Amino acid sequence: MTTLVVISAGMRRPSTTRILADELSAAVSARLPGPLTVTNVEVRDYAQAIIDALLGGFTHSDLDEAITAVEDADALIAVSPTFQGSYSGLFKSFIDLLPPNDLAHKPVLLGATGSSERHSLVIDHAMRPLFSYLRTMTVPTGVYLTTGTLGEENRGLRARINRAADELAAFVELNAATRGPLPAAAGDESTTTAIELDQAHAELGLSPAGPGDGTLERMLRTLGRG
């Protein structure tokens, strides 16, 4: 079974953010192998629980279930509204509660919404670095939607949604074919690096004991500490 979790951080109901999340979810669902389970995490529903977890260290059961769903997912779609040129504070607060090691190598599609096109770089300048730090497999194509384009036929937007969905499905297929989920390393950097090196050797058809100048190992270690 393939599991897809859709994280939507819209502030209202209905919201532009949820509309984009649903569009992305539908496109991805049509491309993932079945049987497929789709779980929607509407972050605003957990706002008080997120505050309690961050300030008091207590995690409500419903929030814990949402976090577990994200950890166990084969792929994620994450969509945030834009505030002051970045993702929303509520979105970031939810991401802060996710165990970072458990997201390593998880395929992720990023989306964002805003009031105008001048915020369209939020995905590449804010969201992508965040998920890069978490070492997710973030698809190259991000999807940005402005409130002014709602209800309009936008071929460019539809093309980006389809391309991003194709990329996420390809990443899921790659994970299933080559390695499956990355085992948690419990903060052990040397263990994590060893796992990544073994996987890289396998995917590139290299022998770990074979000759080489160590370039691959140095590159992976540098990326892991970036």
The pLDDT, as a whole number, for residue 92 is 97
Q: Distance between CA 30 and CA 165 in Å, rounded?
A: 9
Q: Quick one: how far is CA 58 from the chain centroid? A: 25
The pLDDT, as a whole number, for residue 217 is 56
Q: What does DSSP assign to residue 182? A: P
Report residue 217 as tokens: 């190992």
Query: Which stretch, 15-29, 137-151, 205-219, has highest mean pLDDT?
Result: 15-29
Task: Give, to the nearest 10 degrees, the angle between helix 155-178 and helix 16-29.
Answer: 50
Average pLDDT estimate for 152-165:
87
**Percent of the chain's residues with pLDDT above 90:** 61
> Rounded to the nearest 5°, which phi and psi values hold at 195?
-60, -45
Q: Lowest mean pLDDT of 60-69, 154-163, 217-226, name the range.
A: 217-226
**Percent of the chain's residues with pLDDT above 70:** 76
pLDDT band (50, 70, 90) for residue 211: very low
Q: Distance between CA 10 and CA 83 in Å, rounded?
A: 11
Note the pLDDT tens digit of each residue in 76-94: 999 999 998 899 999 999 9
The answer to whether residue 177 scores a pLDDT higher than 80 is yes
Average pLDDT estimate for 45-67:
95
Q: Are 36 and 29 in contact (CB under 8 A)?
A: yes
Q: Express the helix, strand and coil content of the chain in percent, nearest 5 each.
A: 55, 15, 30
DSSP 114-177: ESSGGGTTHIIIIIHHHHHHTT-EE-S--EEEEGGGTTS--HHHHHHHHHHHHHHHHHHHHHHH
User: Helix, strand or coil for residue 87?
Assistant: strand
| pTM for this prediction | 0.78
Average pLDDT estimate for 202-226:
49
Q: Distance between CA 46 and CA 55 in Å, rounded?
A: 14
Average pLDDT estimate for 174-183:
69
Alpha-carbon distances, residue 51 vs 86, 90, 120 (angstroms) = 20, 9, 29
User: Helix, strand or coil for residue 40?
Assistant: strand
The pLDDT, as a whole number, for residue 186 is 43
Query: Which stretch, 13-17, 100-104, 106-110, has highest mean pLDDT?
Result: 106-110
